[in-house]
Amino acid sequence: MIRLFVAISVPEMLRQRLSGLRGQIPGARWVRPENLHLTLRFLGDVDEDAADDLDAALSRITAPRLQVALSGVGHFASRGQVRGLWAGVEPNDALEHLQTKVEITVQRAGMAPIGRRFHPHVTLARCNDTRVSRIDGFLAEHSGFRAPPFPVDAIDLYSSTLGREGAYYTREATYPLPD
């Protein structure tokens, strides 16, 4: 089995900038700079045949190239605890369109529907045991975060290996978007 997800890779310069948002938050595990990405579709553990089918399907995706601008920061929470901190994405119809194409494509390749709305973001940190009140400073400090748009000419298929020190990602395939 291989744990897969489809993502937009974030350019090195922007990953560096995002790394600058790191702060002192108890319980936060900050994503390593090389791992920062924008997930389009988490696929989870799939067997080799399913991975081949996904690769074949994704290689046929056509969607226009686009620009993505990161803007703002936010958090996911459940039961009063912060689960993740993220950088947001400016509203973007082309990105929604691309994600819909990816969703349709992976479903045609046999994946079950994800069953929740796409909420584009770049995860900056995952948190354990962090109360929402502990991130007020982070949210206030970075509410004005905004980065220039970056071009998206391809989407990538990554595998993820969960280790003690966090996940290791490997780019398994790149699917260029047509001109």
Which phi and psi (to 5°) does residue 142 adopt?
A: -110, 15
Site string for ligand ATP, 4-23 (x = CB under 6 A): -x------------------
List 15, 106, 160, 175, residue binding ligand ATP (CB under 6 A): 160
CB nearer to ligand ATP: give 5 or 175: 5
Structural element, H or E, at residue 100: helix 93-108
List 2, 69, 94, 167, residue binding ligand ATP (CB under 6 A): 167
Structure tokens, 66? 């686009």
Q: Does 175 sit near ligand ATP (CB under 6 A)?
A: no
DSSP classification of residue 146: B
Structure tokens, 111? 């994946």
Q: Does 112 sit near ligand ATP (CB under 6 A)?
A: no
Distance CA 20, CA 23 (A): 8
Q: Nearest distance from residue 178's CB to ligand ATP, in Å?
A: 26
CB nearer to ligand ATP: give 63 or 120: 120
Q: Which of 39, 50, 55 is nearest to 1 (CA)?
A: 50
Residues touching ligand ATP, count (CB under 6 A): 10
Determine contact, residues 156/171, Cβ cutoff 8 Å. Answer: yes
CB nearer to ligand ATP: give 137 or 171: 171
Region of 110 (left: φ > 0; alpha: ψ -120 to 50; beta: rest) is left
Contacts with 159 (C-beta within 8 Å, 6 or more apart), sequence order: 2, 3, 4, 169, 170, 172
Chain residues 23-82 in contact with ligand ATP, contact rule CB under 6 A: 39, 42
Distance CA 159, CA 5 (A): 6
CB nearer to ligand ATP: give 69 or 167: 167
List 17, 75, 126, 142, residue binding ligand ATP (CB under 6 A): 126
Q: Which residues bind ligand ATP (CB under 6 A)?
A: 3, 5, 39, 42, 123, 126, 160, 162, 166-167
